[in-house]
Structure 1
Amino acid sequence: MHDLKRIFSHLGPFRREFILSILFIIAETGFELVIPLIMADIIDVGVANRNIHYILIKGMQMGICAVLSLITGLFYAKFAAKAALGFGAFVREQEFARIQTYSFSNLDHFATSSLITRMTTDITVIQNAITGGIRPMVRGPVMLILGLFLAFLMNAKLSLVFLACIPVLGVILFFIVRKVAPLYGRLQICMDRVNAAIQENLTAIRAVKAFVREEYEEEFFEKANHSLADTSRTTFHFAVLNLPAFQATMYTAIVLILWFGGNFIRTGQMQVGQLTGFLSYVLQIVNSLMLISNVFLMLTRSLASARRINQVFDECPDLSDPKDPVTEISDGRIDFEHVYFKYKRDAQQYTLSDIDLHIRSGETVGIIGGTGSSKTTLVQLIPRLYDASGGRVLVGGSDVRSYSLCALRDAVGIVLQKNVLFSGTIRENLQWGNPDASDTEIWNACHTACADEFIRHFPDGLDTRLEQGGINLSGGQKQRLCIARTLLKHPKILIFDDSTSAVDTATEEKMRRRLSALSSMTKLVIAQRVTSVMHADKILILDDGHLHALGTHESLLASCPVYQEIYDSQMRGGTTNGNA
């Protein structure tokens, strides 16, 4: 219950609506419970004495109670809806904001599909627990306590039947909840798997069709879907046992009450109206017990969802601002001082080992190496997407851990290896780099990135609409738009993570010349092609996470066998020990 208590602590702005909905339920229940008392008087006094005036007066009182019960019920519905929907939206916003604070290592702890399920299905379960749970959670105990109290006032002996039934019902509910509780957790995990299957298929739909793997994907989804269906069937198979078990117990109690009540009437210990009113309370008490049992089942499911939501809030971001962060980055100097890095603390080997590197502001540095040599990992330490496991990374002469994350990342522009564009216009995508950028600034950035060449051919120019992920653009066009977007940030450090791989060599050369005019900007170029880095001020060669060599194109070509091999394989078509 601690998890539920934490979740409901987010009611905050909607606490007033939540409390009012509870008060209106109590009032509604009170009016309903008065009706059987009035009905008993009508039968025992009005009907017995044939007093029409008395019957009309009591009938009007019953009508007033019914109308007041209806009005309070409507007010309950209004405030409960406000509380539930507002609470769900608020928790979803809080959860989304929490995810935005995660570092890459935090995100590695959750599958994307699982985070989506936690922000949608799990929060919906909690919302439903409020809209469908407040009423029975309050109404059930109130009806039970007041109903038992009024039933005891009518006939204490007959009320003892309920006291014998309550322990039986408690045992039944205990065993059902004990069985169902772990199944709800499994149900949400199965939902994660279904979402994962859908997400992967839609994201990679072109690859699926290119490899004619539709049947395989259908079988994969079918397994996940059947697993969800089987788990749901098992879960609700046990959950619905609640209804027949309770009904069997309570109808047995009603039969016993009718038996004993009939005997009491025969011996003159009870009147017909009293038994009629007593049976009304019996039905209300039965209903209240059913409501309470359903609340327990609902809370059991909500508890599984609340636990999953709290896991998102409990995940402590690995990266955060220092106590007194530095907010100004003086220049684009970059220093790696004997840096070591591994993705997991308990990993046996380092991904980067003893990197000692010094880059002056305004320099252009090429980074080259084989696949898996940790080129991308190296540059991700600069904007502090990850923290170094050992040593220090400095930007502008200060440790990156001393900066405000916002200020540091605003000063470092990264053009990612994987191009990320969003649905919207070209202008809207470019303004991610600078929301206040004018058309002149946008066109200048596009010119530097050689993106203006194809944008001008579109009838709508910058207002051309892009589909999700920019699927209506070629790979090279997407890369150039991403470069232009990053240039609009006016960063002090610009990192290209193999971001010109889909651009032809002529366009790449043109882009390189235009970028070289940005002399105040430090540029790091990760590439597989020698032509992309050969004009850099210095070239860094990484080999299995180690700094293998550092120098200019000419010096490396003269002294580094690894660079010679890369150069010869690309420029001359073959190599033998570094010689053509």
Structure 2
Amino acid sequence: MLIRLVRAHLAPYRRSVAVIAVLQLAQTAATLYLPNLNADIIDSGIAHGDHGYIVRVGTVMVAVALVQLVCSYLAVRIGARVAMALGRDLRRSVFARVQAFSVREMARFGAPSLITRTTNDVQQVQMLVLLTLTLMVSAPIMCVGGIVLAVEQDAPLSIALVVLAPVLGIAIGAILRGLAPLSNAMQRSIDSVNRVMREQITGLRVIRAFVKENHESRRFAAANTELTDVSVRVGRLMALMFPAVMTIVNVASAAVLWFGAKRVDSGDMTIGALTAFISYLLQLLMAAVMATYMLLWIPRAEVCAGRIVEVLDTESSVAPPARPVRGLARRGHVEMRGVGFHYPGAETGVLDGITLSAGPGQTTAVIGGTGSGKSTLLSLIPRLSDATAGTVFVGGVDVRDLDPGLLSRTVGYVPQRPYLFSGTIASNLRYGAPDATDEDLWRALETAQARDFVEALGDGLDARIDQGGTNVSGGQRQRLAIARALVGRPDVYLFDDSFSALDYATDARLRAALAAETAEAAVIVVAQRVGTIRDADRIVVLDAGRIVGAGTHPELLRGNDTYREIVLSQLTEAEAA
């Protein structure tokens, strides 16, 4: 997964990667050449007292060191830019994929996990790529070159390197094998902490209302402790890595010094050669340390890459049409024919055999008990989900064939729980109609019965809105969401229990104002309150996902037991009549 992901997203930066490889090769070659020059100065310059030779070779060493410095700087600089660009592209790809998800995919992954995958997981892969481009490219070159040059200095002494390499490999491999499952557990624990934290921030009022601070503190403590425990276990394994590497290499260094001193004493090896050999051994140590540091990131980056690929490989159940229709046959018309909806793995469907239609100038209300499928029915029209049976038509065209942009402009949807974005009132109202004038916004606010409280805010349309609209009341949020839908002047209006937070007087004034504003559009209203929908042109009664009645308020009150039961649970006989 990791190789596949990185290879795909590094493709646009092939030239930069090639330049980095050349620079790393040059700086590694310079690093390996320096001990050889140092040995030459000792054996041919210092040993014979030739100061001129020392100066000449020393000048060459300074030049080589400068080449090494410049190449290393450029390699790290370009590598950092490539790694950051890769992270940016990964975040963009994940974000674009999530934007295409339907409600089904969002429920499958969950918001906390998607946030972790877009931020923390991408950061882990990005860091691994940075380490690979800046360290891992030079590490194998230094290892191979160091061994070759060390053998060239003294072949018998190089036996220590032959023993050192497999011992290092076995020690590092054993530690990495234990890190892989722990890295997976760590990412799941991060998801858990994010989920609990998100729930507690969002539900702060509920927590305080029910005095559940201690309970939520224990929940967070449990998730936090789980993450801490896993992190400590990972830290313990990582803490073993460097001492193990250093112990092995230091033992090898001591052996080289011991046997090297004997070979110098016997005349089989020069002091310069021993000095160069020790330098190459230290370079091997540095290469091993660099490789070890990078290898520590691989298990966690592999897990993170798998989680990112899981998102990127998930196709939305609401697929865009291959040949989108960009024109409507009948404006302001919605029709459902034999529509059903069934969640994957569920024993029964949420909707079954739904057939209804709504035309311009008509208000169609949908009412039913809790869990009867009202909100699900409404969500099929703007394609928040696709029907699993039957067909939904908007403007005489199957919604699965409509251009998504045209469908968005045609249908104005006010969800059951309206959401406002951080910004201003104006930026929220222009969300679906960027070219709307201030006059259009004030008109929509007046229709939505929101003008008075917006004017009272002082800054008017420029008044600040916090994320989620938390600085306005529930009723104000609903009215602003209704105004946002009105600004775009769509052909179809969908109100999913959008008047529940309004008092009866405001509800009545709003519905009266909407009647004039939506006179040429189809209006479908889902509501729990009978008073909100009793004047609708047609009322559809849902029960267990099926239509059990349709007609006007008086007709249903006389002939439909389900509707009559709902009405009498809210009104008296006299009020209902």
TMscore range, shorter length? over 0.9
Distance 1:457 1:235 in 2: 56
Distance 1:5 1:20 in 2: 22
The 5 A counterparts of 1:80-479 are 80-329=79-328, 330-344=330-344, 346-479=345-478
Q: Which residue of 2 aligns with 1:564?
A: 564
User: Which deviations, in whole Å up to 9, do the C-alpha atoms of 1:222-242 show, x marking residues without a partner?
Assistant: 111111111011112122322
Distance 1:215 1:480 in 2: 36
Q: Which range moves more in the overlay, 427-436 or 232-241?
A: 232-241
Q: Which residue of 2 aligns with 1:62?
A: 61
User: Which deviations, in whole Å up to 9, do the C-alpha atoms of 1:54-104 show, x marking residues without a partner?
Assistant: 111111221222222112222122112211112211211111111101111
How far apart are residue 463 of structure 1 and its match?
A: 1.2
- 1:118 aligned counterpart, secondary structure: helix
- 1:198 aligned counterpart, secondary structure: helix
Distance 2:574 2:145 in 1: 92
How far apart are residue 489 of structure 1 and its match?
A: 1.6
User: Which deviations, in whole Å up to 9, do the C-alpha atoms of 1:317-374 show, x marking residues without a partner?
Assistant: 1112222111223312222212221121x32111111112232333110111111111
Normalising by structure 1, report the TM-score.
0.96
Distance 1:133 1:211 in 2: 52
Q: Which residue of 2 aligns with 1:35?
A: 34
User: Which deviations, in whole Å up to 9, do the C-alpha atoms of 1:277-304 show, x marking residues without a partner?
Assistant: 1110111112212222332222222111
User: Which deviations, in whole Å up to 9, do the C-alpha atoms of 1:122-141 show, x marking residues without a partner?
Assistant: 11112211233322211110
Contact 1:362-1:520 within 8 A present in 2 as well:
yes
Contact 2:365-2:525 within 8 A present in 1 as well:
yes
Contact 1:84-1:131 within 8 A present in 2 as well:
yes
How far apart are residue 574 of structure 1 and its match?
A: 10
Instruction: State the AA in 1 paired with 2:332.
Output: G
How far apart are residue 541 of structure 1 and its match?
A: 0.6
Instruction: State the AA in 2 paired with 1:568.
Output: L
- 1:129 aligned counterpart, secondary structure: helix
Q: Which residue of 2 aligns with 1:533?
A: 533
Q: Which residue of 2 aligns with 1:543?
A: 543
Distance 2:541 2:471 in 1: 36
**Aligned residue-pair number:** 575
- 2:400 aligned counterpart, secondary structure: helix
Q: Which residue of 2 aligns with 1:5?
A: 4
Contact 2:409-2:432 within 8 A present in 1 as well:
no
Instruction: State the AA in 2 paired with 1:522.
Output: A
Contact 1:14-1:82 within 8 A present in 2 as well:
no
User: Which deviations, in whole Å up to 9, do the C-alpha atoms of 1:246-304 show, x marking residues without a partner?
Assistant: 22222222222222212221221111111011110111112212222332222222111
Distance 1:464 1:248 in 2: 64
Contact 1:4-1:302 within 8 A present in 2 as well:
no
Q: Which residue of 1 aligns with 2:553?
A: 553
Distance 1:249 1:392 in 2: 70
Q: Which runs of 5+ in 1 are unaligned?
A: none
Contact 2:496-2:525 within 8 A present in 1 as well:
yes
Distance 1:283 1:250 in 2: 9
- 1:473 aligned counterpart, secondary structure: coil
Distance 2:3 2:215 in 1: 40
What do you get for the CA RMSD once the two structures are aligned? 1.8
User: Which deviations, in whole Å up to 9, do the C-alpha atoms of 1:197-250 show, x marking residues without a partner?
Assistant: 211111111222222222222211111111111101111212232222222222
Instruction: State the AA in 2 paired with 1:531.
Output: G
Distance 1:567 1:288 in 2: 79
- 1:413 aligned counterpart, secondary structure: strand
- 2:47 aligned counterpart, secondary structure: helix
User: Which deviations, in whole Å up to 9, do the C-alpha atoms of 1:421-441 show, x marking residues without a partner?
Assistant: 111111111011311000111
Distance 1:541 1:513 in 2: 23
- 1:432 aligned counterpart, secondary structure: coil
Contact 1:17-1:82 within 8 A present in 2 as well:
no
Distance 1:15 1:203 in 2: 44
Instruction: State the AA in 2 paired with 1:301.
Output: R
Distance 2:7 2:194 in 1: 26
User: Which deviations, in whole Å up to 9, do the C-alpha atoms of 1:531-578 show, x marking residues without a partner?
Assistant: 111111110011111101000111111111222222223221899xxx
Contact 1:26-1:139 within 8 A present in 2 as well:
yes
Q: Percent identity?
A: 38
Distance 2:209 2:574 in 1: 32
Q: Which range moves more in the overlay, 237-246 or 47-56?
A: 237-246
Instruction: State the AA in 2 paired with 1:569.
Output: S
Contact 1:367-1:539 within 8 A present in 2 as well:
yes
User: Which deviations, in whole Å up to 9, do the C-alpha atoms of 1:27-71 show, x marking residues without a partner?
Assistant: 111111111011101111111101111111111221222222112
User: Which deviations, in whole Å up to 9, do the C-alpha atoms of 1:146-177 show, x marking residues without a partner?
Assistant: 11111111111111221122122222222111
Distance 1:105 1:200 in 2: 20
Q: Which range moves more in the overlay, 228-237 or 510-519?
A: 510-519
Distance 1:190 1:549 in 2: 49
- 1:503 aligned counterpart, secondary structure: coil
- 2:143 aligned counterpart, secondary structure: helix
Distance 2:525 2:188 in 1: 42
How far apart are residue 410 of structure 1 and its match?
A: 2.4
Q: Which range moves more in the overlay, 286-295 or 308-317?
A: 286-295
Contact 2:21-2:137 within 8 A present in 1 as well:
yes
- 1:49 aligned counterpart, secondary structure: coil
- 1:241 aligned counterpart, secondary structure: helix
- 1:353 aligned counterpart, secondary structure: strand
Instruction: State the AA in 1 paired with 2:146.
Output: G
Q: Which residue of 1 aligns with 2:488?
A: 489
Distance 2:97 2:142 in 1: 41
Distance 1:126 1:574 in 2: 68
Contact 2:2-2:301 within 8 A present in 1 as well:
no
Instruction: State the AA in 2 paired with 1:56.
Output: V
- 2:524 aligned counterpart, secondary structure: strand
Distance 2:315 2:477 in 1: 35
Instruction: State the AA in 1 paired with 2:337.
Output: E
Instruction: State the AA in 2 paired with 1:76.
Output: A
Contact 1:412-1:494 within 8 A present in 2 as well:
yes
Q: Which range moves more in the overlay, 551-560 or 11-20?
A: 11-20
How far apart are residue 105 of structure 1 and its match?
A: 1.0
User: Which deviations, in whole Å up to 9, do the C-alpha atoms of 1:477-511 show, x marking residues without a partner?
Assistant: 11111101001121111011000111121221122
